[in-house]
Amino acid sequence: MRGKKKQGKLIAITGPMFAGKTSKMIQLLDREKYSGNSVRLFKPKIDNRYSKTSVVTHKGEKLPAMTVTVDANGIDAIIKNSADCDVVGIDEAQFWPPELNLANTLNDFANSGKTVYVSILNKDHTGKPFNNTLEVLALADSIHSLTSICLKCGEDATFTQRISKGKEIFGSQIQVGGTESYEPRCRKCFVAKSRSAKGR
Ligand code: TMP
Ligand code: MG
Ligand code: ZN
């Protein structure tokens, strides 16, 4: 035993879109609240699909969240507003550019005794690790690796395909969207950019 200081933890929730990452985050943060811990949830300003003041799942579950920008000011806001809470949640962490080292900030939180839950998309629509995913997953103490269901064949899906009018499309890494522009796919049904005749 090394004193009474609470042990911090970094817990990642990852997977493709429509795998229930945000539902899992809400469920885990609710448990923390029930056990008497103070919780603060942050979400990136870039994603305003459903609400500016809450994190909302594709199924409509929600939890109040503070919206922060995906720049250095956003990281500062996370640090400042986490000072007095036991548990920190970060939704959609893939949107932070790698050079801002969000992963290190979260690692520091865990070292200081906080429990940190971070939800992060595993891969972008080209099948490559999304931004700071590798760092976050490497620094995590534990990982909830979630799968969705492939829309083509019904197998477990670990990829997210970007689609337009039923066709696979490729473009800039960041493009906020939901079922109108993305679908979960398994490794076999996922179309990589190089194999697509009409890759854009
Ligand atoms: P979700 O993981 O909560 O479903 O949200 C993922 C968000 O990431 C959604 O707004 C779409 C966006 N996204 C990109 O910007 N680029 C990509 O390559 C993929 C797959 C998703
Ligand atoms: Mg989500
Ligand atoms: Zn499939």
Domain ranges of the chain: 9-147
| Distance, CA of 127 to CA of 193 (rounded, Å) | 9
Pure H helices in 40-132: 72-82, 102-111
Q: Is the pLDDT of residue 176 over 60?
A: yes
Higher pLDDT, 137 or 62: 137
Q: Is the pLDDT of residue 94 over 80?
A: yes
36-59: buried (b, 16+ CB within 10 Å) or exposed (e) per residue? Answer: eeebbbbbbeebeeeeeeebbbbe
Q: Read off the amino acid at residue 177.
A: G
pLDDT for 145: 98
**Protein residue with its CA nearest to atom 8 in ligand 1:** 176
Catalytic choice (61, 92, 99, 180): 92
Is residue 18 within 8 Å of 148, Cβ to Cβ? yes
| Binding pocket residue ranges, ligand 1, CB within 6 Å | 17, 21-22, 47, 92, 121, 124-125, 160, 162, 173-177, 182
- 3-class SS of residue 54: strand
Q: Torsions phi, psi of 122, nearest 5?
A: -70, -50
The pTM assigned to this predicted structure is 0.92
Q: Which residue has the tokens 């035993």?
A: 1
pLDDT for 95: 94
Tokens, residue 100: 């801002």
Using pLDDT thresholds of 50, 70 and 90, give the confidence band for residue 51: low
pLDDT for 1: 56
| Distance, CA of 181 to CA of 111 (rounded, Å) | 38
Q: Read off the amino acid at residue 94.
A: Q
Q: Which CATH number fits domain 9-147: 3.30.1330.60, 3.40.350.10, 3.40.50.300, 3.40.50.970?
A: 3.40.50.300
Dihedral sign computed on CA atoms, order 19, 21, 22, 23: positive
